[in-house]
Amino acid sequence: EPRSEGDVTEPTSARVIRWAPVLAASVTTASMIFAVTTYWQGAREHRQASAIGILQDYLKFTVEHPDLASRPADAPLDTRYVWFATHTLFTVESLWTLVGEDERWELTLEGLLRPHRGYLQQGVLGCDAFDPGFYEFLKSRFRELKCKQL
């Protein structure tokens, strides 16, 4: 006589065969979740390591050029300083691209720019060259930011 699906007397092998696809799908789903989580953690750690490397290189740069790294806000703009300040902006934008959404980096990014507040106020920046999100970051931290009029 045929057995019903819920029959208690159903052989174990039949129950295993019936549940095998469900178990396989569950294991596959769990494996994919683990893989995606691991990937994102690795990517975040890689961004952090890259940002630290960029920051270390920039700090070496400031040690090599202490006269340009910190100067009075009202000091005149000369070619060397504009080069240095532009490099600083590029460095900060690169860091912002990597870790800008990480609150732990916000003060660092702002701190790198603070010595160049006077430069940001001069109206010599081509702000249209910045990533729009980074430009918003600059405006929110340095309200006195002035851009070159095109």
Q: pTM, whole model, 2 decimals?
A: 0.73
Average pLDDT of 123-137? 90
pLDDT at 3: 54
| Chain centroid offset of residue 37 CA | 17
Higher-confidence position of 24 and 52: 52
Whether the per-residue pLDDT at 7 is higher than 70: the answer is no
Q: Nearest Cα to 83, choosing from 50, 53, 108, 61?
A: 61
* Range ranked top by mean pLDDT from 27-31, 37-41, 110-114: 110-114
Q: Residues 16, 18, 20, 22: is their CA dihedral positive or negative?
A: negative
* SS3 call for 78: coil
Calculate what percentage of the chain has a pLDDT beyond 90: 49
What angle in degrees, to the nearest 10, is found between the helix axes of 12-64 and 79-99?
170
pLDDT at 68: 93
The residue behind tokens 């819920």 is: 6
Say if CB 125 and CB 149 are below 8 A apart.
no
For 112-138, what is the mean pLDDT? 91
The per-residue pLDDT for range 54-84, each reduced to its tens digit, is 999 999 999 999 999 988 888 888 999 999 9
Residue entry with tokens 């789903």: 29
Report residue 4's pLDDT band, with 50, 70 and 90 as the boundaries. Answer: low
